[in-house]
Amino acid sequence: MAEPVVRLRDLTFTYDPDVVALQDLYLDLHPGDILAVFGANGAGKSTLCYLLSGIIPNIYGGTRMGEVRVFGEDPWEHPIHHSARNRAIVLQDPETQLFMPTLEMELAFGPANFGVPREEIRERLGWALKTVGLGGLDRRNPKALSGGQKQRAALASALTILPGLLILDEPTSQLDPLGSTEVLEALKEVVAGRDLTTVITTHKVSEMEGLANQALVLHRGRVALQGTLEEVISQVDRLEEVGVQAPPLRQFFHLVLPGPESNSSDLEGAAGRVRELVDGGRLEVVAPVGTARRAPARPAAPLLQVEEVTYAYPGNPPVTALRDVSLKVAESEFLAILGQNGSGKTTLVKCMVGLLKPRQGRIVFRGEPIARMSVGQIATRIGMVLQNPDYQLFSVSSEAEIRFGLDNLGLDPREAGERTGEALRLLGLEEHRGVFPFRLSFGDRRKLAVAATVAMGPQVLILDEPTTAQDYRGRYLLADIARDLREREGRTIIMISHDMDLVARYAERVVLMLDGRIILDGPPEEVFDQVEVLARTYLKPPDPALLGRMLDDLGVPRGTLTPEQLASIFRPGTGVA
Amino acid sequence: MRTVFHYIERDTFVHRLHPMVKLLHILLTLGLIVVPYWPTLRDLAALLVWLGLNAVLGTVARLSLRQFGFLAKILLGTFLFILLTQGFMYRGETPLIILGHLAIGGGVDLVITREGLFFGIILCMRMLTAVSALPLFVSTTPVSSIMAVLTSLRLPPTFSFMFVSALSFTSMIFEMWSTILDAQRLRAFDIESMNVFRRLSRAYVPVLTPLVLMLFRKGNDLQIALEAKGFGAPGPRTQLEVLRFTWRDGLAAAGLVGVFVLCLWIKYA
């Protein structure tokens, strides 16, 4: 067999001074191989990408032991512009990868650096844009593209180098479901029928089905699982142990029939398999219709009311983001707002906290319009945690960070001290009291942003996209905290999210937005049952809900939103071997 | 601020001009305001002629004054400061406004003189002339053409790229600034309602801390993105855009030089 494109032998890499990022790694990749790399944050996925692309050792330094060969060359022996001739990397954040004023210039940047003739660059440019589905947009400013388009543009700009090795570091982690789908479709088009070796890191295991043929699971720098994709993702328990979430349908099968069986993750296959198991007597449906539904939420007094609000961003012409929106949020409710980017979700919550002032309509908190409240008054009633915590941290220590808001409220030092201590305790940050916030991990920075908001005592807590760029466990961190606050202190939670699984597990009411309007409002079981309406917003109910619908005729009730709920409908039958 | 330094896509005579001609316009503008001057009506007339030319070019390029609202705010404050300080400080002979007498040292008369005020006006006009030329270049020339013209002047690619990055980072800084201000309002900290002194003493440090740290991070990411695409590879770099100098560009350049000579004649004749 020809020499592999990537060959790692007993590789250990340590960032200076002593942070071990990868340990005892062996890997061979041949032309056409597509490797999916899974692992929690800090598992070593990005380090592997940097090693293969030459970013390590050329930009980030460290100590290596063992062998690294990419196209037969050791990255330690060549400058990065040499490595860049045959490999390309697409990073997580599309914003920082697109630095040119037009797509044409962006895509030409790589080949132009290598002196590729002008006509050939134009040919590559046209091909790459067409391949990723951005044909005809070559004069467009990349900053004006949607999230999915930006990441596809980053992919196209990697392709114009004509790499033999394509490395993608969490290419969908910051995208909404539509953007993720666009990028994955483009990627399938890119790899189809080519001898392009590809390495993709991701937290979303189910995205790799039908794309990758090999998989590697890293845990604290070491290999936890390695093999074909099928071999790896069928290890549901082991994946769970190392903080990687198996696809929901795999979880379902694992719950109803634990064991090393190979089960389909696609809906059609899964439905067929369940029927086969039921027909063979290995599974029985036990729950009568309707048992999966949650008890209806108790009626409660409206706390926050949005009354016929219309908002338009200034411009020529103005961009209307909210159109006559009305919404009542009750005391102690856990509400999720769904919708694609640009549907008006963030504009709506920004109006709720007074960051935007609607021209028409009003927002009322306990009967009082928030337009009449000061910034401080709003902050003590409605708190909001932004998507990126780094914009919300301004102080020299975690303690000072929480005190920042309390001092702005003019609280006396004793009370401010007590509230600070309580918030640190509530979020488990006591040991980081004196630490500079930017030295905390991403997860802890998010917790600190919540602590600083909660300390101000708002009755309503708004979380904007709490799962962005988070691994499996990190995704649930803020939602768990929010649920605790609701259950223990009766606070109202409003959560904006694209994560259907998260919404299915936590929310008791779901609002769906499209083009600045609310188009669905109800319990998650009802909203997720409106498959056609959701499809208009490019959203898809969780897989267990769809599988439940497909198994209607077996007596499976509607509204089974999580693998656990769906599994509770079945029990092993007498036909179990 | 963003629109001042952004290319505004239109199909006008000014947009179609060769960037070298627009660079010549900037050079002539700078030339006009750095040549020795005296606070005379002739000097003012020369500046007005050049400003008039800029206004005509701006109109032809369909640039609206509203686009420069932010810049105008900054300039108005600066002009007011210059007029007041020059009015008081310039050693003029003709009192225009007498505000009083300060008994400091041997006594100081608080007088705005006519010569001082005129000198201030000339200074403001020179500043306005210089500032008005920049959007005529940046707002009417695609960055690809700017890079092409800088390369044709044999400037190193790093220099051209620094120019492009500066434009990109300017808009990024404004977006980040705005998000940080929002985050602070959520914590009951309202910088916009504070006066200048309170802002200086209390407000800017909490804004600058996340801003600077995030800019370092973005800068690092940008370095990775650039170098991973072969930036700095040895050998000649391909220039995608080919610029062609036409007879119209020649005529426009000659016209600019003609107006420049006219201004010099008004100044010195």
Structure tokens given for A536: 């208009």
pLDDT digits (tens, 9 = 90+) for A230-251: 999 989 999 999 999 999 988 9
DSSP-derived pairing of the beta strands A34-38 and A197-201: parallel
Rounded to two decimals, the ipTM of the complex is 0.81
**What's the token pair of residue A103?**
């797509």
pLDDT at A422 over 50: yes
pLDDT at position A365: 95
Grouping H, G, I as helix, E, B as strand and the rest as coil, residue A555 is coil
3-state secondary structure at position A392: coil
CB contact under 8 A, B218 and A96: yes
Point out the least confidently predicted range of A284-293, A512-521, B118-127: A284-293
Give me the residue label for tokens 């401010």: A416
Residue A87's closest chain B neighbor by CA? B228
- Say how many C-beta atoms besides its own lie within 10 A of residue A484's C-beta: 12
Which has more pLDDT, A465 or A123? A123
Per-residue pLDDT tens digits for A388-418: 888 888 888 999 999 999 998 989 999 999 9
Say if residues A524 and A350 touch (Cβ distance below 8 Å): no
Please enumerate in sequence order all residues whose Cβ is within 8 A of that of A143, keeping only pairs 6 or more positions apart, or say none: A98, B171
Q: Where are the domains of chain A?
A: 6-246, 253-296+544-577, 302-543
Q: Which of residues 353-382 of A touch B (CB under 8 A)?
A: 353-355, 375-376, 379-380
Whether residue B74 is predicted with pLDDT greater than 80 in this model: the reply is no
CB-based contacts of A366: which residues, under 8 Å, 6+ apart?
A303, A381
Produce one character per residue of B192-223: b if its CB has 16 or more CB atoms within 10 Å, e if not: eeeeeeeeeeebeebbebbbeebeeebeebbe
**Amino acid B1: pLDDT:** 45
Give the gap in angstroms from C-alpha B72 to the nearest C-alpha of chain A: 19
Average pLDDT of the residues of chain A: 89
CATH 3.30.450.20 matches A6-246:
no
Whether the predicted pLDDT of A279 surpasses 80: yes
Range list of β-strands (E), A400-559 = 460-464, 492-496, 509-514, 517-522
- For A466-488, the pLDDT digits (tens) are 877 778 877 788 888 899 999 98
Helix, coil or strand: residue B124: helix
Evaluate whether the domain defined by A302-543 bears CATH number 3.40.50.300: yes
Using the beta-carbon criterion (under 8 Å), do B185 and A355 form an inter-chain contact? yes
pLDDT at B2 over 70: no
Of A161, A375, A394, the CB nearest to B229: A161
Q: State the pLDDT at residue A555.
A: 85
| Interface probe with A: pick from B147, B171, B211, B229, most Cβ of A within 10 Å | B229
Residue A262 has pLDDT above 80, yes or no: no
Inform me whether the pLDDT recorded for A527 exceeds 70: yes
Separation of alpha carbons A338 and A353, rounded Å? 18
Do A6-246 and A302-543 have matching folds? yes
Share of chain B above pLDDT 70, in %: 90
- Rounded to an integer, the average pLDDT of A286-299 is 55
Residue A114 Cα to chain centre, angstroms:
35
Q: How close, in Å, is residue B241 to chain A by CA atoms?
A: 9
Q: At A56, is the pLDDT very low, low, confident or very high (cuts 50, 70, 90)?
A: very high
A397: closest CA of chain B, how far (Å): 12
Hey, of A58, A91, A96, A316, which one would you mutate to test binding to chain B, going by the most B CBs within 10 A of its CB?
A: A96
Percent of chain A with pLDDT over 70: 95
Closest to A269 (Cα-Cα) out of A575, A543, A541: A543
SS3 A318: coil
pLDDT of A288 over the 60 cut: no
Alpha-carbon gap: B198 to the closest alpha carbon of chain A (Å)? 13
Q: Is the per-residue pLDDT at A222 higher than 70?
A: yes
Look at residue A167 in the predicted model and tell me its pLDDT: 95
Identify the three-state secondary structure at position A571: strand
B223 vs A225, higher pLDDT:
A225
Cβ contact A400:A417 at 8 Å: no
- Is the CB of residue A498 less than 8 Å from the CB of residue A176? yes
Pick from A119, A382, A391 the residue to mutate for testing the B interface (most B CBs within 10 Å). Answer: A391
Of A150-159, A480-489, B248-257, which has the strongest mean pLDDT? Answer: B248-257
Which is nearest to A516 in space by CA: A366, A318, A355, A381? A318
Kindly state whether A569 is in contact with chain B, defined as any CB-CB distance less than 8 angstroms. no
